Structure formats: C-alpha cells, structure tokens
Amino acid sequence: MKLSRSLAAFVAASAFAVGVVFAAETAAPKAKPEGNPGKCCVKAESAGKTCDHKCCVEANAAGKNCEKCGGTNPAKKS
C-alpha cells in the first residue's frame, strides 16, 4: 500500500509542477510595466518604436515608466 501512496504523491507533485509551469508561461508575456508611460513614450510606441530618451530607457530597463516624462508607476510598498 505504501507504494501506491507514494505513486499518488508523485502524480500529485507532477500535476502541481505542470500547473506551476503553465502559470509561469501565462504570466511571462508581460512586456509592459504597469502604470502609464509618459507622452513621449506613448508617441514613440504608436510609431512602432521605443522612446529613446535616456531617462525613459533607464526607467524601462528597470521595468518602470519614466516619471520625469509624466509616466506613472503603481505605488509599491516594500
């Protein structure tokens, strides 16, 4: 009986692992940061480009919107 128990546990663990992988994959395509980008960035994006302002590039690299150019970021309490 011990064998079937551990087998069931293994199956459950596998299902859980698959669920985690699926969750990670569905969460993965999150290219844009939350909040609103600045006007310059919106303009660049609508032209199929990325804003080349140094401040915006730096902010985007950090996964944020450029606040200097009017972008907003969700307030995070850490």
> Phi/psi at 58 (nearest 5 deg)?
-65, -40
Q: Treating both helix axes as pointing N-terminal to C-terminal, what angle do 39-46 and 54-61 enclose, rounded to 10 degrees?
A: 80
User: Do 59 and 35 contact (CB within 8 A), yes or no?
Assistant: no
What's the min distance (Å) between Cβ of 33 and Zn ion? Answer: 12
Asked if 65 interacts with Zn ion (CB under 5 A), we say no
Asked if 51 interacts with Zn ion (CB under 5 A), we say yes
What's the min distance (Å) between Cβ of 30 and Zn ion? Answer: 20
> Which positions lie near Zn ion, rule CB under 5 A?
38, 40-41, 51, 53, 55-56, 66, 68-69
